[in-house]
Structure 1
Amino acid sequence: MTGDAAGDAAGDAAGDTSDAATGDRLRGADAATVRRALADRDPFPGGAGFAGRVAAGGASFMNREGGGGPRLVRDVLGRQPIFVERDASDPTASEAWSFDPTTLTDPEALPAGTTASPSGERTTAWTLPDPPAADPEPAQAAVTEAVTAAVEAVGDADAGATAVAFSGGVDSALAATGVPDAPCYVAGFEGSHDLSAAREAAAEMDRELRVVELTHADLERAVPELVAATGRSNAMDLNIALPLYLTAEAVAADGFERLVVGQGADELFGGYSKVVEPAADHRVDADTVRGARRETMLTLPAQLARDVLALRAAGVEPVAPFLDDRVVAAALELPGDLLATPDERKVALRRAARGAVPESVRTADKKAVQYGTYVARELDRLARQAGFKRRMDDHVGQYVDALVAGEV
Structure 2
Amino acid sequence: MCGIAGFAGKEAWQRTCEMTGLLHHRGPDGSAVYDGKTACLGHTHLKVTGDYPQPALSGGSVFVFNGEIYNYRDFADVTSDTEALARILSGGMESLVSAAPYINGDYSLGLWDGSKLALLRDPVGVKPLYYGRSSDGFGFASERKALWKAGIRDVKALSPGAMLADGEERRVVDLPRYEPVLDEEKAIGTLDVSLAAAVRARVHASAAVTFSGGIDSALIGALAPGMPLVTVGLEGSHDIKAARHAVRLMGVESRHVVYEIGENDVEAAVAGTVYAVESADPLKVSIALPLYILAQKARDDGYRVLLSGQGADELFGGYARYERAFDEGRLPEALDHDLRHIAEVNLERDDAATMAHGVELRVPFLDMRVIAAARRMGPSLKVRRNGKDYIRKYVLRKVAEKYLPPEVAAAPKKAIQYGTGVQKTLERLARSRGSAPAGYLESQYRKVFR
User: 2:73 matched to 1:38?
Assistant: no
After superposing the two structures, state which structure 1 stretch, 196-205 or 128-137, moved more.
128-137
Paired residue for 2:438?
Answer: 397
AA aligned to 1:294 is D
Give how far 1:227 is off.
1.6
Paired residue for 2:248?
Answer: 203
Distance 2:406 2:272 in 1: 39
Give how far 1:288 is off.
1.7
2:334 pairs, out of 280, 292, 296, with 292
Paired residue for 1:82?
Answer: 129
Structure with greater proportional strand content: 2
Distance 2:225 2:94 in 1: 35
What's the TM-score, normalizing by structure 2? 0.76
Classify 1:49/1:88 alpha carbon distance in 2 versus 1 (closer, same or farther; 3 Å).
Answer: farther
Classify 1:318/1:252 alpha carbon distance in 2 versus 1 (closer, same or farther; 3 Å).
Answer: same
5+ long unaligned stretches in structure 1: 57-66, 281-285, 389-394
Q: Percent identity?
A: 32
Counting only pairs closer than 5 Å after superposition, residues 7-406 of structure 1 correspond to structure 2 as 7-8=27-28, 11-13=46-48, 18=54, 19-21=56-58, 22-27=61-66, 28-29=68-69, 30=81, 31=85, 32=88, 38-39=97-98, 42=101, 45-54=102-111, 70-87=117-134, 91=138, 96-105=139-148, 106=153, 107-117=155-165, 119-137=166-184, 138-155=186-203, 158-159=204-205, 161-205=206-250, 206-207=252-253, 208-278=255-325, 287-302=329-344, 303-342=346-385, 343-388=390-435, 395-405=436-446
**Contact 2:25–2:357 (CA<8 Å) still a contact in 1?**
no
Classify 1:347/1:89 alpha carbon distance in 2 versus 1 (closer, same or farther; 3 Å).
Answer: farther
**Contact 2:214–2:411 (CA<8 Å) still a contact in 1?**
yes
Classify 1:85/1:296 alpha carbon distance in 2 versus 1 (closer, same or farther; 3 Å).
Answer: same
1:230-268, CA deviations, whole angstroms, 9 ceiling, x for partnerless residues? 212101111111111111111000011111111111111
Distance 1:131 1:279 in 2: 16
Secondary structure of the 1:252 match is helix
Secondary structure of the 2:265 match is helix
After superposing the two structures, state which structure 1 stretch, 122-131 or 259-268, moved more.
122-131
1:127-186, CA deviations, whole angstroms, 9 ceiling, x for partnerless residues? 33442311323333322221121122233xx32x11111000111111123432222111
Paired residue for 1:62?
Answer: none
Classify 1:278/1:86 alpha carbon distance in 2 versus 1 (closer, same or farther; 3 Å).
Answer: farther
CA RMSD of aligned residues (A): 2.8
Distance 1:74 1:136 in 2: 33
1:307-330, CA deviations, whole angstroms, 9 ceiling, x for partnerless residues? 011110022111211111111111
1:247-303, CA deviations, whole angstroms, 9 ceiling, x for partnerless residues? 1111000011111111111111111011112277xxxxx842222211221221111
Classify 1:112/1:332 alpha carbon distance in 2 versus 1 (closer, same or farther; 3 Å).
Answer: same
**Contact 2:288–2:350 (CA<8 Å) still a contact in 1?**
yes
AA aligned to 1:325 is M
Distance 1:278 1:53 in 2: 39
Give how far 1:357 is off.
2.2
1:51-108, CA deviations, whole angstroms, 9 ceiling, x for partnerless residues? 112467xxxxxxxxxx9965200111101111223437764xxxx2222333222343
Distance 2:428 2:329 in 1: 37
Distance 2:288 2:195 in 1: 25
Give how far 1:211 is off.
1.6
Paired residue for 2:39?
Answer: none
**Contact 2:110–2:119 (CA<8 Å) still a contact in 1?**
yes
After superposing the two structures, state which structure 1 stretch, 179-188 or 241-250, moved more.
179-188
**Contact 1:269–1:348 (CA<8 Å) still a contact in 2?**
yes
Distance 1:183 1:143 in 2: 24
**Contact 1:173–1:361 (CA<8 Å) still a contact in 2?**
yes
Distance 2:196 2:442 in 1: 44
5+ long unaligned stretches in structure 2: 1-21, 30-44, 70-80
1:170-220, CA deviations, whole angstroms, 9 ceiling, x for partnerless residues? 111111234322221111112221111100112222142222222222222
Classify 1:108/1:220 alpha carbon distance in 2 versus 1 (closer, same or farther; 3 Å).
Answer: farther
AA aligned to 2:340 is L
**Contact 1:153–1:178 (CA<8 Å) still a contact in 2?**
no
Asked which structure has the greater RCO (Cα within 8 Å, sep 6+), the reply is 1
Paired residue for 2:72?
Answer: none
Distance 2:318 2:167 in 1: 38
What's the TM-score, normalizing by structure 1? 0.84
Equivalences, count? 375
Secondary structure of the 1:255 match is coil
Classify 1:153/1:365 alpha carbon distance in 2 versus 1 (closer, same or farther; 3 Å).
Answer: same
Classify 1:181/1:152 alpha carbon distance in 2 versus 1 (closer, same or farther; 3 Å).
Answer: same
